[in-house]
A and B are shown apart, each in its own frame.
Chain A
């Protein structure tokens, strides 16, 4: 077929499709917004890399979790604002001491093979995640939830039957946690706690998630998965709320190169992709309705090595000076330019219920900060005659490099500090950081749940993620107290204030998601801070 005839037949079939759509769409409107719906409800988006796993209990990344939330449904779901709403469970009751949660399961929830979803499937899923034989990277998440004996079971010190989770009957699930944790219901939306069909897994082994074997209880089922290329899911007709689902097909295209992805977005192959660093100002000017930025709960910061770093940075005045001299405004507005925000606290500004305490240095102008930084540095005995030399390590990436260059320059100008930049390949960098073989290290942290302790726990002595080995007895005590306090906000604010006074870390900026999104893709939950989105809530509006 020549190109001309291809074009002609292509146009003809498009016209027929359009006519059919207009006919079929005569009445199709969105039940809530009233938008006319497009005849083709297909959503295609880009992911950066292949999914390490899409098995709910093994999932370890954000993109894989999004797939799992489509294929499976947990006890609870999240709405567009991140509030916890019913999922397979219609609701739950909490005991007076805040330790026992009793979930009631809906009776019309089905697996795609027609089996009813029962409380035992949830018990099986949670036990499977904790079981040392599963060797899940995310077994630690069960400890975050506080489910009784999670740590001991994962460590192999107790049988899985000892986990604080049991099926009272088919429709009633009881979960016992070790301390009242106000964020617990939100953890019930997390894939690690999704139900599992042990019979299917036993039958197919590691291949149970292949499209021909998979059994799901979510709004979609897997139709195609070609590693490093694409993953497609289509509607699961057995899903209890299938009638309210609008999108028919959702495809994740794995495109490593963000510029290639952007080109394919403009060629109409994608409904959504990330904006490459530094391109947001231009794109938002040219495509104001498509280039969008919204908060994303991660914080970017620099770690001080508090145990084996150079003597200078054990001096709080030096740490203060280094933190003061970082002009966050320049980094956010000139280096990144994608709607990120300056950070003076570790906790992301948009965490629901969080009120940023009055951090003193946040209220100064950069000139005042620089002046104070220079004073502190001189007090500590460093200056042009005795310049401080520091090394910053970061994992290889253009944007980390740009930020490190900018900060090195700021320190040099304001404080006369000589900085060496050392970029390391990811695995090496993690090793170096984890073994405290560095002076100053770039770091980033993303929230596991929308509550300040997901960040602030990292400042405690016992946290295994505390790669700076910052240790302060008062912080430890406050965080301990916060676990059992009804409203711990004041305690968290106190922790942030101490961390700022001591310059435990240098918070630099709070992340934003910067996307290109086609105008007819609707209902994207930009207000859901953890970006827990569900395809069944999205739809494609008919073009006007």
Chain B
């Protein structure tokens, strides 16, 4: 196991490097530039800007300098779009926000999703099953850019219970709608996967044996059926967790949470190369770390898997 982790981490480094280089190439291949506007500054101003941000250097040198700064100084450079901020500032301010509401969304999606899935599987082909399946299909079909306005109209305008947006240092009232908007479709997927795999496990031989032994239903489900039926969920929740804690453009822009999701998309539109790279690396490394964690969990849950 230990050598497996070391091997995986060793692969992660070149993977990240390739990610950086590919992102750089894509960025420079996109037409336009960070300082272009409807009112393009005169050439001498552009030259000054390019010099200030090192964009007048050859591409290879830019990539090299960038990697050196990131690896040795953990410095992602200044933002091109937000002149008073560095990429480190953007991440330091936005990431805790998305991490907070993303984490809680994940918890909600997991608990509600698995609960719904188990209930549906155990009460297979009863009204409870139909209800659970109906809810999860409905939730999956309802994209968050439609759900978000519905939440806003309901809880802010009609009921007046929750503030319509903002973050306010992470007060719970400000988090409720972002969490619902972000978790709903993940919750639905988790419920469907849990249900399908639970049904399969419940029909397997060892469960039949357990039932035949006369074990109470609760023990059968939680002691024997749950662990194996969670395996397919694991491969889903690794990437889902990363996707959730790195934020959602819809949630950030609709509820003005100030998270990194909105920075990411805006950086692409504004050709803010530095912010785009910084966030790509952040999301990339988190993806690598969490798929590693998922692999380790796999081995723990399923004794058949050996690395």
**Minimum CB–CB distance for A177 against chain B, Å:** 18
**Minimum CB–CB distance for B261 against chain A, Å:** 10
Q: 1/0 per residue B155-183: CB within 8 Å of A?
A: 01100110111110000000000000000
Q: Which of A135, A228, A431, A465 contacts B51 (CB 8 A)?
A: A135
Q: 1/0 per residue B36-66: CB within 8 Å of A?
A: 1111111111001101100000000000000
A254 and B94 alpha carbons, distance in the complex (Å): 14
Interface of chain B residues 217 through 259 with chain A (CB within 8 A): 252-259
Contacting residues, chain B, for A255 (C-beta < 8 A): 165, 256
A3 and B300 alpha carbons, distance in the complex (Å): 44
Instruction: Report yes or no: A228 in contact with B48, Cβ–Cβ below 8 A.
Output: no
A425 and B271 alpha carbons, distance in the complex (Å): 11
B186 at the interface (CB under 8 A from A): no
Instruction: Report yes or no: A260 in contact with B165, Cβ–Cβ below 8 A.
Output: yes
Contacting residues, chain A, for B38 (C-beta < 8 A): 430, 443-445
A333 and B84 alpha carbons, distance in the complex (Å): 42
Instruction: Report yes or no: B258 in contact with A227, Cβ–Cβ below 8 A.
Output: yes
Most buried by B among A3, A54, A135, A139: A135
A346 and B81 alpha carbons, distance in the complex (Å): 30
Contacting residues, chain A, for B263 (C-beta < 8 A): 228
**Minimum CB–CB distance for B241 against chain A, Å:** 23
**Minimum CB–CB distance for B159 against chain A, Å:** 10
A79 at the interface (CB under 8 A from B): no
Specify the chain B residue showing the minimal Cβ separation from A225. Answer: B84
A297 and B51 alpha carbons, distance in the complex (Å): 34
Instruction: Report yes or no: B149 in contact with A430, Cβ–Cβ below 8 A.
Output: no
Q: Which of A53, A228, A465 contacts B256 (CB 8 A)?
A: A228
A534 and B49 alpha carbons, distance in the complex (Å): 31
A143 and B38 alpha carbons, distance in the complex (Å): 18
Q: Which of B45, B82, B148 contacts A135 (CB 8 A)?
A: B45
Instruction: Report yes or no: A228 in contact with B152, Cβ–Cβ below 8 A.
Output: no
A32 at the interface (CB under 8 A from B): no
B35 at the interface (CB under 8 A from A): yes
Instruction: Report yes or no: B37 in contact with A430, Cβ–Cβ below 8 A.
Output: yes
A255 and B152 alpha carbons, distance in the complex (Å): 13
**Minimum CB–CB distance for A231 against chain B, Å:** 11
A50 at the interface (CB under 8 A from B): yes
Instruction: Report yes or no: A427 in contact with B36, Cβ–Cβ below 8 A.
Output: yes
Contacting residues, chain A, for B153 (C-beta < 8 A): 263
Q: Which of A52, A132, A445 contacts B81 (CB 8 A)?
A: A52
Instruction: Report yes or no: B45 in contact with A140, Cβ–Cβ below 8 A.
Output: yes
A428 at the interface (CB under 8 A from B): yes
B191 at the interface (CB under 8 A from A): no
Instruction: Report yes or no: B84 in contact with A209, Cβ–Cβ below 8 A.
Output: yes
B33 at the interface (CB under 8 A from A): yes
Instruction: Report yes or no: B84 in contact with A53, Cβ–Cβ below 8 A.
Output: yes
Known contacts A227-B93, A257-B254; A430 and B40 CB within 8 A of each other: yes
Known contacts A52-B82, A431-B36; A139 and B45 CB within 8 A of each other: yes
Instruction: Report yes or no: A427 in contact with B270, Cβ–Cβ below 8 A.
Output: yes
**Minimum CB–CB distance for A280 against chain B, Å:** 20
A253 at the interface (CB under 8 A from B): yes
A96 at the interface (CB under 8 A from B): no
Instruction: Report yes or no: B52 in contact with A135, Cβ–Cβ below 8 A.
Output: yes
Stretch at the interface among A117-125, A151-159, A515-523: A151-159
Contacting residues, chain B, for A256 (C-beta < 8 A): 253-254, 256, 262
Known contacts A132-B48, A151-B44; A434 and B36 CB within 8 A of each other: yes
Contacting residues, chain A, for B32 (C-beta < 8 A): 426-428, 430-431
Instruction: Report yes or no: B52 in contact with A228, Cβ–Cβ below 8 A.
Output: no
Contacting residues, chain A, for B123 (C-beta < 8 A): none
Instruction: Report yes or no: A137 in contact with B41, Cβ–Cβ below 8 A.
Output: yes
Q: Which of A58, A132, A229, A434 contacts B166 (CB 8 A)?
A: A229
A51 and B269 alpha carbons, distance in the complex (Å): 15
B305 at the interface (CB under 8 A from A): no
B23 at the interface (CB under 8 A from A): no
Instruction: Report yes or no: B165 in contact with A465, Cβ–Cβ below 8 A.
Output: no
Contacting residues, chain B, for A227 (C-beta < 8 A): 82, 85, 90, 93-94, 258
Q: 1/0 per residue A31-55: CB within 8 Å of B?
A: 0000000000000000001111111
Instruction: Report yes or no: A425 in contact with B269, Cβ–Cβ below 8 A.
Output: yes
Instruction: Report yes or no: B44 in contact with A155, Cβ–Cβ below 8 A.
Output: yes
Specify the chain A residue showing the minimal Cβ separation from B156. Answer: A267
Contacting residues, chain A, for B255 (C-beta < 8 A): 260
B26 at the interface (CB under 8 A from A): no
Contacting residues, chain A, for B44 (C-beta < 8 A): 132, 151, 154-156
Known contacts A255-B165, A427-B269; A260 and B37 CB within 8 A of each other: no
Instruction: Report yes or no: A226 in contact with B149, Cβ–Cβ below 8 A.
Output: no
A500 and B177 alpha carbons, distance in the complex (Å): 53
B7 at the interface (CB under 8 A from A): no
A255 and B256 alpha carbons, distance in the complex (Å): 6
A413 at the interface (CB under 8 A from B): no
A264 at the interface (CB under 8 A from B): yes
B285 at the interface (CB under 8 A from A): no
Q: 1/0 per residue B125-150: CB within 8 Å of A?
A: 00000000000000000000000110
Q: Which of B94, B164, B271 contacts A263 (CB 8 A)?
A: B164
A485 at the interface (CB under 8 A from B): no
Instruction: Report yes or no: B256 in contact with A156, Cβ–Cβ below 8 A.
Output: no
**Minimum CB–CB distance for A95 against chain B, Å:** 28
A497 at the interface (CB under 8 A from B): no
Interface of chain A residues 138 through 155 with chain B (CB within 8 A): 138-140, 143, 151, 154-155
Q: Which of A138, A226, A228, A443 contacts B262 (CB 8 A)?
A: A228
Contacting residues, chain B, for A425 (C-beta < 8 A): 269
A39 and B151 alpha carbons, distance in the complex (Å): 32
Contacting residues, chain B, for A444 (C-beta < 8 A): 38
B1 at the interface (CB under 8 A from A): no
A136 at the interface (CB under 8 A from B): yes
Known contacts A253-B165, A260-B165, A263-B153; A135 and B36 CB within 8 A of each other: no
Q: Give me 10 other A-B pairs in contact (C-beta within 8 A), A207-B84, A430-B38 excluded.
A: A136-B45, A154-B44, A156-B48, A260-B165, A263-B152, A267-B156, A427-B30, A428-B31, A431-B31, A464-B40
Residues on B lying within 8 angstroms of A by beta carbon are 30-33, 35-45, 48-49, 51-52, 78, 81-86, 90, 93-94, 148-149, 152-153, 156-157, 160-161, 163-167, 252-259, 262-263, 266, 269-271
Can you list 17 residue pairs at the A/B interface with Cβ under 8 Å? Answer: A132-B44, A137-B41, A228-B262, A229-B256, A229-B257, A253-B256, A260-B148, A260-B149, A260-B256, A263-B149, A263-B152, A263-B153, A266-B157, A269-B165, A426-B32, A428-B31, A434-B36
